[in-house]
A and B are shown apart, each in its own frame.
Chain A
Amino acid sequence: MASTTSIDTPPPPRAPQAEPPSASTSTGRAGDKIFSGLSKGSGILLLVIMASIAGFLAYRAAIAISKDEGNFLTTFDWNPSASPPVFGIAVLLFGTVVSSIIAMVIAVPIAVGIALFISHYAPRRLAAPVAYVVDLLAAVPSIIYGIWGALVLVPYLDGLNSWLDQYFAWTYIFDQTQPGVARNMLTVGILLAIMILPIVTSVSREVFLQVPRMNEEAALALGATRWEVIRLSVLPFGRSGVISASMLGLGRALGETMAVATVLSPNYLISLHLLDPGGGTFAQNIAAKFDEADEFGRDALIASGLVLFVLTLLVNGAARLIIARRKEYSGANA
């Protein structure tokens, strides 16, 4: 499903393209006809492919759900090969949402900070390399993040875990009730945060760079300090851009597969104790179960994939809605 996510994500907010020249302006030469036919064909092909994927998902999902003896929405188990088959997405939905929220909470403030640093604080000579390094993070394949997470991050986070457990157990979420290495939701969230950092940063940076010079200069002229300039002119202007950047990041976090599958120690219990090993996400569950699944098991996994598909669509839709509503604020980046 990771690939679906990346296909679905709206392009970074840029100025809308100029209207394509209408057919009537064609000179009627063969080249024009062939090219317009080809591009029309590609457009239609894409729609046909998407429709058949959606149709296939829905069809296989329907087979699976109709035979599910548990409740597809509320069962805390995933055992489609048992007789009778019992499986439900409750744990997966919960884990997907929780890990993504943790990732957002960590990544968005840092990303906005990096973006502001690059666009407003860093000397030009430093800004470009920093921006480049952040973009480079996006080029690392997710399985590499997974292996790094499992072999490096997890052992390091053990210390953080016991520290949190010792001093912040009263918060409930940082109360570790089961022994175990840090292969838990918090670690997954931190890993996802690192993974979505580049996209959130680069989109935010683009937005901040588009703040009209006049606004900033006006604020400066009124005696604002640099922080006040950012607060008064940059952040309000960039708010919608940051929101849409976050939504793009959220889309990636929701669908992340291999990194989560490599790092998490999954089980089928819902727990808000973030330090306990356990939980699961849609994509992780599919990756973990697909190899040994029989045909019906695969249908069941496809059904869970359909839910992720819908969830991602909703998130992307929400992002587009927010951008559309805020259009008037930010003429340049709508």
Chain B
Amino acid sequence: MKLQRKNGLRATALGALAVSGALVLTACGSDNNTPDGSGSKAPAASSAVCKDAKGQLLASGSSAQKNAMDLWVKNYMATCTGVEVNYKSSSSGEGIVAFNQGTVGFAGSDSALKPEEVADSKKICTGGQGINLPMVGGPIAIGYHLEGVDSLVLDAPTLAKIFDSKIKSWDDAAIKALNPDAKLPKKPIQAFHRSEDSGTTQNLGKYLGATATSDWKYEAEKKWPAPGGQAASGSSGVATQVKQVDGSIGYFELSYATSQQISTVKIDTGASAPVEATSENASKAIAAAKIKGTGKDLALDLDYTTKADGAYPIVLVTYEIACDTGNKPETLATVKSFLTYTASADGQKLLSEAGYAPIPAEINAKVRETVASLS
């Protein structure tokens, strides 16, 4: 009996350990977008063209696109059996450093290369430079938890004031004005942000900075800039808090809201109706972006102030970074083949399934063109 009891204990402990391990892993990755489930789909035969691709391709960078990369890599490698693609999900900064040191074939980043990084890249890209290829889009959902309120509309200034602890109660006049029909309780607002540095924080900051100029005076940094509010670790941590705490609000990738059934805020952008956070609506907002990169560089200037109907403006776009000319000869064919697949209709279709948003057709067409011309 004694023995059995011990084993039972151990099994429970192991189980608990495994669960916690999984929790830690998700907590550490900064922007994991999907629950593990979508990653484990059986690799479908993809439309990838493996021409000349061979050997190992190393890549590194943003964890915001990790789940998309995992799907792509799995499907690509199922078709192109001779190739091994290895995307190390760390952070955008690290990916760019690795790229500029020449240790990876391409890098993933949730912001475009800075001028000094472009200058650095010229040493690696013989005769060329590093360019940004927008590949993955995604909506950042504003999740909230407020008993008795099923639908909530906010606009950028109100959102900025909430996250800056200027609006402290749910029955504030500004919120009431946007939600005349809702029964808003007199509860303190508990705003949650990310405790670690994150591209998601930075992109929300960019949105607030662009749309609520007089209410959000902070630089868009990866570190949460405002003094108030509460912090939690990782998108999963923020989502967990919002799920638990009545009266809370927080931001995370859409997939977290979907998987935990957290209500999301509709954004009043000035369009005819408030816009909901969906993949489709995010793609519409990305379509309003202008390409600010010159030459083959396709860095985007997102139009956060877009008033287009159904365009959800709080989005992030992650780029793949490669050399326009001067890619390493041994990996060039593989990089081209892999990125051609990710930019293909097939590759982009996978994105909305994983809670991301596909890159709009017009920009995507340019990406394909550029990828084809890499040398």
Cα(A181)–Cα(B189), bound, Å? 11
Q: When each residue 16-27 of chain B gets 1 if its CB lies under 8 Å from chain A and 0 otherwise, what string results?
A: 110010011001
State whether the Cβ of B171 lies closer than 8 Å to any Cβ in chain A: no
**Nearest CB in chain A to that of B199: its residue:** A292
Q: Which of A60-68, A260-268, A305-313, A317-325 contacts B (4 or more CB under 8 A)?
A: A260-268
Known interface pairs A141-B17, A179-B190, A269-B227. Does A289 touch B197 (Cβ–Cβ under 8 Å)? yes
- The interface size of chain B toward A, counting residues with CB under 8 Å, comes to 37
Select one of A150, A155, A183, A293 contacting B197, CB under 8 A: A293
Select one of B168, B192, B222, B244 contacting A292, CB under 8 A: B222
- Give the A-B pair count, Cβ closer than 8 A: 77
Of B29, B231, B247, which is in contact with the most chain A CB atoms at under 10 Å from its CB? B231
Instruction: Tell me which residues across on chain A come within 8 A of B221, comparing CB atoms.
Output: 79, 82
Q: Is the CB of A262 within 8 A of B233?
A: yes
Cβ distance B61 to chain A, nearest Cβ, rounded Å: 12
**Nearest CB in chain B to that of A280: its residue:** B195
State whether the Cβ of B91 lies closer than 8 Å to any Cβ in chain A: yes
Cα(A183)–Cα(B94), bound, Å? 31
Residues 83-98 (chain B) with a chain A CB within 8 angstroms: 90-91, 93-94, 97
Of B27, B94, B244, which is in contact with the most chain A CB atoms at under 10 Å from its CB? B27
**Contact count band on A:** 20 to 34
State whether the Cβ of B174 lies closer than 8 Å to any Cβ in chain A: no
**Nearest CB in chain A to that of B221: its residue:** A82
**Nearest CB in chain A to that of B24: its residue:** A143
Instruction: Tell me which residues across on chain A come within 8 A of B196, comparing CB atoms.
Output: 288-289, 291-292
Instruction: Tell me which residues across on chain A come within 8 A of B223, comparing CB atoms.
Output: 78-79, 81-82
Cβ distance A154 to chain B, nearest Cβ, rounded Å: 8
Q: When each residue 173-196 of chain B gets 1 if its CB lies under 8 Å from chain A and 0 otherwise, what string results?
A: 000000000000000111010011
Cα(A333)–Cα(B364), bound, Å? 74
Residues 93-150 (chain A) with a chain B CB within 8 angstroms: 141, 143-144, 147, 150
Cα(A291)–Cα(B90), bound, Å? 7
Q: Is the CB of B20 within 8 A of A143?
A: yes
State whether the Cβ of B372 lies closer than 8 Å to any Cβ in chain A: no
**Nearest CB in chain B to that of A295: its residue:** B97
State whether the Cβ of A88 lies closer than 8 Å to any Cβ in chain B: no
State whether the Cβ of A258 lies closer than 8 Å to any Cβ in chain B: yes
Instruction: Tell me which residues across on chain B come within 8 A of A269, comparing CB atoms.
Output: 227
Q: When each residue 251-263 of chain A gets 1 if its CB lies under 8 Å from chain B and 0 otherwise, what string results?
A: 0000000100110
Cα(A269)–Cα(B20), bound, Å? 30
Known interface pairs A141-B17, A288-B233, A292-B197. Does A267 touch B227 (Cβ–Cβ under 8 Å)? yes
Instruction: Tell me which residues across on chain B come within 8 A of A143, comparing CB atoms.
Output: 20, 24
Residues 118-153 (chain B) with a chain A CB within 8 angstroms: none
Instruction: Tell me which residues across on chain B come within 8 A of A262, comparing CB atoms.
Output: 27, 233
Cβ distance A173 to chain B, nearest Cβ, rounded Å: 19
State whether the Cβ of A238 lies closer than 8 Å to any Cβ in chain B: no
Q: Is the CB of B97 within 8 A of A294?
A: yes
Cα(A316)–Cα(B247), bound, Å? 44
Q: Is the CB of B190 within 8 A of A291?
A: no
Of B20, B29, B189, which is in contact with the most chain A CB atoms at under 10 Å from its CB? B20
State whether the Cβ of B361 lies closer than 8 Å to any Cβ in chain A: no
Cβ distance A259 to chain B, nearest Cβ, rounded Å: 11
Residues 186-236 (chain B) with a chain A CB within 8 angstroms: 188-190, 192, 195-198, 221-223, 227-228, 230-233
State whether the Cβ of A171 lies closer than 8 Å to any Cβ in chain B: no
Q: Is the CB of A155 within 8 A of B20?
A: no
Known interface pairs A81-B222, A265-B231, A288-B196. Does A144 touch B94 (Cβ–Cβ under 8 Å)? no
Instruction: Tell me which residues across on chain B come within 8 A of A289, comparing CB atoms.
Output: 196-197
Cα(A261)–Cα(B23), bound, Å? 13
Q: When each residue 275-309 of chain A gets 1 if its CB lies under 8 Å from chain B and 0 otherwise, what string results?
A: 00100000000001101111101000000000000
State whether the Cβ of A180 lies closer than 8 Å to any Cβ in chain B: yes
State whether the Cβ of B340 lies closer than 8 Å to any Cβ in chain A: no
State whether the Cβ of A178 lies closer than 8 Å to any Cβ in chain B: yes
**Nearest CB in chain A to that of B31: its residue:** A292
Cα(A155)–Cα(B245), bound, Å? 9
Cα(A82)–Cα(B23), bound, Å? 30
Select one of A78, A147, A258, A265 contacting B230, CB under 8 A: A265
**Nearest CB in chain A to that of B93: its residue:** A294
Cβ distance A66 to chain B, nearest Cβ, rounded Å: 21
Known interface pairs A180-B230, A291-B91. Does A144 touch B198 (Cβ–Cβ under 8 Å)? no
Instruction: Tell me which residues across on chain A come within 8 A of B109, comparing CB atoms.
Output: none
Instruction: Tell me which residues across on chain B come within 8 A of A261, comparing CB atoms.
Output: 233
Cβ distance A51 to chain B, nearest Cβ, rounded Å: 29
Select one of A78, A180, A293, A295 contacting B190, CB under 8 A: A180
Instruction: Tell me which residues across on chain A come within 8 A of B327, comparing CB atoms.
Output: none
9 CB-based A-B contacts, threshold 8 Å? A82-B223, A143-B24, A144-B16, A262-B27, A262-B233, A265-B192, A291-B90, A291-B196, A293-B197
Which 3 A-B residue pairs are closest in the complex by CB-CB distance? Answer: A179-B188, A292-B197, A265-B230
Q: Interface residues, chain B, CB within 8 Å of chain A?
A: 16-17, 20, 23-24, 27-30, 90-91, 93-94, 97, 168, 188-190, 192, 195-198, 221-223, 227-228, 230-233, 240-241, 244-245, 247
A sample of 6 more A-B contacts (CB under 8 A), given A265-B192, A265-B231, A292-B197, is A81-B223, A82-B221, A292-B91, A292-B198, A295-B97, A297-B197
